[in-house]
A and B are shown apart, each in its own frame.
Chain A
Amino acid sequence: DAGITQSPRHKVTETGTPVTLRCHQTENHRYMYWYRQDPGHGLRLIHYSYGVKDTDKGEVSDGYSVSRSKTEDFLLTLESATSSQTSVYFCATHGQSNEKLFFGSGTQLSVL
């Protein structure tokens, strides 16, 4: 299996606090993605990266920012968490265009 590690696996936080989720990969993959998954909405793209320092917005990017300062790490930040950001977050990567995605195990985030 591809080495995609998400941290933390679970987090409970309060409304208004900043939260950073980390995705770390050991595959030297160029492309990295953050998705959120909510019941009835499937997997929705938040932000993605196509190289170091190259990032772009997905469909549900409001309230989120990302950074990729090195190939192996892609950080997702909630500047001021809201209850609507309670969700399961998945990181995914692939090395080439049209290649299948490799997923991390997910992060369960609860914003109270």
Chain B
Amino acid sequence: QQPVQSPQAVILREGEDAVINCSSSKALYSVHWYRQKHGEAPVFLMILLKGGEQKGHEKISASFNEKKQQSSLYLTASQLSYSGTYFCGTEERGTYKYIFGTGTRLKVLA
């Protein structure tokens, strides 16, 4: 079953912040985050390997709560270029199956 992301969609003004959540019904071993622009393939943003680990650069960061089986992506002071659909991705423990969350459409307006 796909991890569930929330919100499904969000509209921001430039400079505003956003949080995207990814919640799984199964234990998460690691979480990856991707962004996809319309008509393109997803692009990798970051990986979180350990529970509690926070990673990021500049204005995009993420956290991973292994106990709660959740990860969150933080976008700070959003820019027009942040628009797109964000996906969390994870490899199911004990399998080689790699699945994606349901996706969050983010649009940043000038």
Q: Could you tell me which A residues sit within 8 Å of B by CB distance?
A: 31, 33, 35, 41-45, 48, 50, 56, 58-59, 90, 92, 94, 97-98, 100-101, 103-106
Contacts and interface: CB of A to CB of B under 8 A. Distances in A.
Contacts of B102: 41-42
B91 interface: yes
Interface residues of B, number: 25
9 contacts: A42-B2, A42-B87, A42-B100, A44-B2, A45-B99, A56-B95, A58-B97, A90-B41, A106-B41
Contact of A101 (B89, B96, B97): B89
B103 to A, nearest CB: 4
Contact of A98 (B1, B30, B42, B101): B30
Given A42-B87, A90-B41, A101 B99 contact: no
Nearest to B101: A42
A108 to B, nearest CB: 9
Interface of B: 1-2, 29-30, 32, 34, 40-42, 44, 47, 49, 85, 87, 89, 91, 95-103
Given A98-B49, A101-B44, A103-B42, A42 B97 contact: no
Nearest to B45: A100
Contacts of A50: 96
Given A101-B44, A101-B89, 19 more contacts: A35-B100, A42-B102, A42-B103, A45-B100, A58-B97, A58-B99, A59-B1, A90-B41, A90-B42, A92-B98, A98-B29, A98-B30, A98-B47, A98-B49, A100-B32, A100-B47, A101-B34, A101-B42, A106-B41
Contact of A105 (B41, B49, B91): B41
A98 B32 CA distance: 9
Contact of B97 (A41, A48, A100): A48
